[in-house]
């Protein structure tokens, strides 16, 4: 998967300091949480035949 320059620019728009990217409320933490939720959701669906909202 390739991330477009436009999407990267949009994601990094508010990043002015390293803390904005890597801090407790930074972009990387938000991305990590979203990624983990997606992975765990896929795991539930694939292995346990569970889909959220069922």
Give the count of beta carbons closer than 10 Å to the beta carbon of residue 27.
16
**3-state secondary structure string, the chain?**
CCCCHHHHHHHCCCCCCHHHHHCCCCHHHHHHHHHHHHHHHHHHHHHHCCCCCC
**pLDDT band (50, 70, 90) for residue 53:** low
The answer to whether position 2 is within a domain reads no
Determine, yes or no, domain membership for 9. Answer: no
* Percentage above 90 pLDDT, the chain: 61
Q: Would residue 46 count as lying in a domain?
A: yes
The domain of 21 spans 17-54
Residue 5 lies in a domain: no
A 10 A CB-CB count for 40 gives 10
Q: Please indicate, yes or no, if residue 33 is contained in any of the structural domains.
A: yes
pLDDT tens per residue across span 6-30: 999 999 998 999 999 999 989 999 9
What does the alpha-carbon distance between residue 28 and residue 20 come to, in Å, rounded to a whole number? 9
In a domain, 8, yes or no: no
Q: What is the pTM of this model?
A: 0.67
pLDDT at residue number 24? 92
Overall domain count for the chain: 1
- Within-domain flag for 10: no
What is the pLDDT, as a whole number, of residue 42? 87
């Amino acid at each position: 998967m390739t991330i477009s320059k436009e999407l990267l620019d949009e994601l990094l728009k508010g990043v002015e300091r390293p803390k904005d990217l890597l801090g407790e409320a930074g972009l990387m933490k938000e991305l990590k949480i979203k990624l983990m939720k997606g992975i765990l959701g896929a795991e539930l669906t694939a292995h346990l035949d569970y889909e959220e909202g069922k």
